[in-house]
Amino acid sequence: MALSRVEVSAAAGAYPVVIGDGALAALPALLAELAPAHERIVVSSPTVWRHQGRRIAHALGRMRTTPVLVPDGERSKTVRTVQRVYDALLAAKADRGAVLVACGGGVIGDLAGFAAATYMRGIRLVHVPTTVLAQVDSAIGGKVGVNHPLGKNLIGAFHPPRLVVADPSVLRTLGARECRAGLYEVVKYGAIASPALFATLASSIPQLLDRDVQALEAVIAESCRIKAWVVSADERESGPRRILNFGHTVGHALEAVTCYGRFRHGEAVAHGMLAAMRIGVAKGLTTARAARAVDELIMAMGTLPTISDLSAKAVVTAMGRDKKIVDGTLHFVVVTDIGTTAIVTDVREADVKIALRALGCRA
Ligand SMILES: NC(=O)c1ccc[n+]([C@@H]2O[C@H](COP(=O)([O-])OP(=O)(O)OC[C@H]3O[C@@H](n4cnc5c(N)ncnc54)[C@H](O)[C@@H]3O)[C@@H](O)[C@H]2O)c1
Ligand SMILES: [Zn+2]
């Protein structure tokens, strides 16, 4: 199948996202346009490299592919781990002409991207995302960063990549739960922007969960187009980019009240989307048909970790700490019909509590 190529515009320069089964094989030629082999540094994690290192190293051809391996997982997404990347860059005598190639999930992309943003005031970055979430979301848009003990992603920068290469065949080794968690973000793209994507998802769940490369490629390419289109229109998240937060206001709060230990991010977002649809219906903005469609799709994808032991009050309190609140006003994204959104600023705590209780939370 031919590779898809999506252009993302950014103030620092437009960049392509190359998507498809076989995209990895195109990596050497794409990289050759950026920098000679000796100026590339690969950053990955032991897990990713164990599963995909041979293929990535092969794709990178004859260059000396001794990757810098740093632990991934949310707990490693810290300035300490970034320091290890700096150490490796310095040891390799990387200069300002170096290109950092980040191979991994969102954690590696975010932290290696932050190292690239700050090393010698910024070197070029290439993303080779290896999870569904990273391919459809974190590798596109230029946000990089790490966590602080007081909160997620509090330290960061905008540092758009020069190139993103998303090959769905690397997802074959991804755990089933990771895969499904990433697919909830695809549900989000369908719900906010594309009835066609939503329908494709609904009709290919078994193949997607089975990590069928063709099925994944179809929904990943469309998700990348949507993310590319949104971030091109609003790089710094002052307006249109907010629609990407559909399901995230409640989702982030669920992650926070469970200390990031229960849900994969996408699973929390799935609960958040269910809540947002209920809130939309209660406010007379969302069609009952759309709410039912989102419910059915999410249910058909499998069981989510429970929320029945969580108190709606605690979740709402955690929502109040979300950094997406601007001047004290919560900009809440509702899907009015599949593919169409509205931003509302009059969602009250009580509205959210009612929706959470309807979904099974305690009072
Ligand atoms: N920058 C952004 O715009 C943005 C957007 C969304 C999320 N994020 C960030 O992304 C992170 C989550 O990313 P994630 O969901 O990809 O999780 P992750 O990076 O933690 O990866 C999940 C797990 O999958 C493993 N893995 C990765 N690729 C694999 C493969 N091909 N085969 C087998 N195992 C593989 C990893 O080792 C890890 O254990 C969060 O830190 C979040 O804040 C950033
Ligand atoms: Zn998300």
> Which of 54, 110, 220, 324 best tests ligand 1's pocket when mutated (most atoms within 8 Å of CB)?
110
Ligand 1 atom with least separation from CA of 144: 1
Most ligand 1 atoms within 8 A of CB, residue of 125, 133, 137, 165 to mutate: 133
Sort 164 into a burial class: Cβ within 10 Å, 0-12 / 13-18 / 19+. buried
Q: How far apart are CA 197 and CA 213, in angstroms?
A: 16
State which amino acid sits at residue 41.
Answer: I
Give pLDDT tens digits along the chain (363 positions): 689 999 999 998 999 999 999 999 999 999 988 877 778 899 999 999 999 999 998 887 655 568 999 999 999 999 999 999 999 999 999 999 999 999 999 999 999 999 999 999 999 999 999 999 999 999 999 999 999 998 889 999 999 999 999 999 999 999 999 999 999 999 999 999 999 999 999 999 999 999 999 999 999 999 999 999 999 987 777 777 899 999 999 999 999 999 999 999 999 999 999 999 999 999 999 999 999 999 999 999 999 999 999 999 999 999 987 656 656 678 899 999 999 999 999 899 999 999 999 999 998
Amino acid symbol at 155 = I
Cα-Cα-Cα-Cα torsion 322, 328, 334, 339, nearest 10 degrees, comes to: -80
3 state SS of 6: strand
User: Atom 11, ligand 1: which residue's CA is nearest?
Assistant: 106
> Is 106's C-beta closer than 6 angstroms to any atom of ligand 1?
yes
By the 10 Å C-beta count (0-12 exposed, 13-18 middle, 19+ buried), 66 is classed as: exposed
